[in-house]
Amino acid sequence: MNEPDVIARMLRAKTIAVIGLSDDPIKPSHFVSKYMQAAGYRILPVNPAVQAVLGERSYASLADVPERPDLVNVFRLPRAIPGIVEEMLALGLTQVWVQQGIVNEAAATHAEAHGLAVVMDRCLMVEHRRQR
């Protein structure tokens, strides 16, 4: 988890499904995703509470997203991570980035044991800036 080569590989993604993307511009999920979008990434919002955000339709779940994302970025409480990992495994998705301040070690261990690449407790925007 959090190996530099894994972080670099995830940053080469083209499409990012963002679970918990808020339409509130002061929320970290919004401004991190807006930054990534401005950097050239396609953002696929996953939040059943909003219709659209950042000019993209929002989906209720990963299973509802019509295209396969290269990366899943998570802005949800730690207790939600195991369910997200299970959904990713069912869909054949392979890369999960859990944002800074969100930690579920058991879910990360389970994800890695089943072949998922995991970055946890790191900010995607900060790491992108660092790699530039």
Dump pLDDT digits (tens) for 47-104.
Answer: 999 999 999 999 999 999 999 999 999 999 999 999 999 999 999 999 999 999 999 9
Encoded amino acid at 80, one letter? A
Identify the CATH number of the domain defined by range 4-131. 3.40.50.720
Structure tokens at 110: 């389970």
Query: DSSP per residue over 2-16, as a string?
Result: --HHHHHHHTT-SEE
- Residue 96's nearest CA partner among 68, 118, 123, 76 is 118
pTM attached to this predicted model: 0.96
Beta strand pairing call for 56-57 and 71-74: unpaired
Structure tokens at 119: 């970055």
pLDDT at 132: 72
Measured in degrees and rounded to the nearest 5, phi and psi for residue 44 equal -115, 100
**10 Å Cβ neighbour count for 120?**
21
Mean of the per-residue pLDDT values of the chain: 96
